[in-house]
Amino acid sequence: MVKTNVCLCGVEMKNPIVPASGTFGFGYEFAELYDINVLGSLSFKGTTLEPRFGNPTPRIAECSEGLLNAVGLQNPGVDRVLSEELPKLKACFQGPIMANVSGFSLDEYRETVKKLDAEKQIAWFEVNVSCPNVHGGGMSFGTDPKAAASVTAEVKKVTDKPIIMKLTPNVTDIVSIAKACEEAGADGISLINTLLGMRIDLKKKKPILANKMGGFSGPAIMPVALRMIYQVYDAVKIPIVGMGGVSSAEDVIEMMLAGATAVEVGAANLRDPFAAKKIAEDLPRVMKKYGIEDLGSIIGGAH
């Protein structure tokens, strides 16, 4: 029997597979299709202090080997997430969950984490300082080491649970930002979020997305993600949650060899709602194929 379990920031997971925030709703929607307890965890839809309608439509544009999204953090707000969404998730998933949190000020980040902290099933906070689709927040915190560190320090004040900072790839030096977050108290680093991109409608001769630009995700970005995971693994001592273009169990192994402890599956869920399930169930076969008995033993193995 191969061992698929991993330990992320002191929390045991039956396997490293985590559906990425924004691609899996609040989880219970997918429980109508299959038993989501086959997953190691899930990162639920990005949550802000107040409800957000998100960006105007159209919000999605197709690309070769991926897609663009400019949803803009649409969510019902933290109070409704606690009262309505998480009870539904708890009824169908027994594992640890990852709370993805975003904000437009230090106060918003802090207060959202503070409210969610009481939910026992939440094992980690994935703090998003990397969304390219919103104005006045999101990525603006993640492109500057000092700003990313300030968010880290602020949310650490209100919880003892691990803080995993989700970083943007839209920077020239990902390492300096990861190190700044570690020095400010981050317990882990989550990378990468989407790359900033756009498409133009040839008939209308205008950008397809109402937001003009959006986050590019899908298989095409995986080499960028791998490179950044590899660089950050060499620079920090805290664990990494890897993501970006993952669509197979082989991709998961590759990301773990680069330095990831857990691996998120994002755009693949939008193409195939069973993607995360298939990847989790295929892991033992791929491990045997490459002579891997214990997944935890290969983390950073390519260094």
Which residues are known to be catalytic? Answer: 131
Q: How far is CA 219 from CA 166, 246, 259, 286, in A?
A: 19, 6, 19, 19
Amino acid at 290: Y
Q: Is the dihedral of CA 36, 273, 14, 47 positive or negative?
A: negative
* Three-state secondary structure of the chain: CCECCEEECCEEECCCEEECCCCCCCCCCHHHCCCHHHCCCCECCCECCCCECCCCCCCEEEECCEEEECCCCCECCHHHHHHHHHHHHHCCCCCCEEEEECCCCHHHHHHHHHHHCCCCCEEEEEEECCCCCCCCCCHHHHCCHHHHHHHHHHHHCCCCCCEEEECCCCCCCHHHHHHHHHHCCCCEEEECCCEEECCEECCCCEECCCCCCEEEECHHHHHHHHHHHHHHHHHCCCCEEECCCCCCHHHHHHHHHHCEEEEEECHHHHHCCCHHHHHHHHHHHHHHHCCCCEHHHHCCCCC
